[in-house]
Amino acid sequence: MTKPKLDITLCAPRGFCAGVDRAIQIVELALEKYGAPVYVRHAIVHNKYVVDGLRQKGAVFVEELDEIPPGDAPVVFSAHGVPKAVPADAKARNMFFLDATCPLVSKVHIEANRHFNEGREIVLIGHAGHVEVIGTMGQLPAGAITLIETTEDAEAYTPRDPGKLAFVTQTTLSVDDTSAIVDVLRRRFPAIALPHKEDICYATTNRQEAVKKVAPQVDAIVVVGAPESSNSVRLVEVARRAGCERAVLVERADAIDWSQFEGIRTLGITAGASAPETLVDEVIEAFAQRFDISVSAHGAGRETIVFNLPRELRVA
């Protein structure tokens, strides 16, 4: 049988961001320099393929420090950031730790501390339970930060002093959703202090913009990424709002539900910031088994931002 034709448009940029790339490098270089095991608190990034690959090299993933036996094995904190209590606990246990927190998440932590020290009440726009939100809220004493998830939350929020208020945001949110919440806060509290520079990271913004441009032109969109990955889930939502109802999140090629792609002639493919290009190639190959494909790229290409490694690993 002749395979049906399918035009695939690859969104650019897509996949790994500088923070994810740095976090993975930190684990790999720690394994190279110190040997296995290297303990990692929480999944280093939200991608099972990446985590499994590091586990095969000797990384041991734990959720809490008390799961780590006494010894001198390094401990790595994930890219999402941790509450202040975690490094304090590690020091109390005489652990050698490496912080793989994305510098853009660290920027939000610094900003929250600055606002707190200047006497402001802080609003954090984000998703309850996400590890980045837990890490950011854990930078300050309980009650110093109020989490707001929706415009309804923003309308209902009552600060102690509207004149001493600031907001920060999770770095992996929908740009449009966040903008709507910020609009409510600024309307209700004109004196609210804004971030010096937008907290939503460049990679999240760039990937969402690329999807917005491709979505109206294709019959379906595949977002390669994990369901735990906030920025990947947001890409699906952005694609649907931009006009592509058949936008689906796919973790690996073997998880594709082919019934969702019956009759399509055009397909967009992107990847969340924690999904490696290998998985994008795997998905393209899976479509090539069933369709006569042609592939083109759309967008600005690769990003050039690079973050420094921790001092302890720069000589490795």
Q: What strand order describes the sheet that includes 220-224?
A: 247-250, 220-224, 266-271, 5-12, 292-299
Q: Give the pair of three-digit tokens for residue 143.
A: 């009650």
Element (H, E) at 11: strand 5-12
Buried b (16+ CB within 10 A) or exposed e, 242-257: bebebbbbbbebeebe
- Amino acid (one-letter) located at 112: A
155 counts as catalytic: no
* CA proximity to 7, closest of 314, 287, 266: 266
Write down the catalytic residue from 28, 111, 121, 132: 132
For residue 148, list its beta bridge partners: 125
Which sign does the torsion angle of CA 42, 45, 46, 52 carry?
A: negative
Element (H, E) at 124: strand 121-125
> How many CB atoms are located within 10 Å of the residue 282 CB?
16
Count of alpha carbons within 13 Å of 29, Cβ hemisphere only?
Answer: 17
Q: How far apart (Å, rounded) are the C-alpha atoms in residues 205 and 173? A: 9
Buried b (16+ CB within 10 A) or exposed e, 204-218: bebbbebbbebbeeb
Q: Which residues are known catalytic residues? A: 132
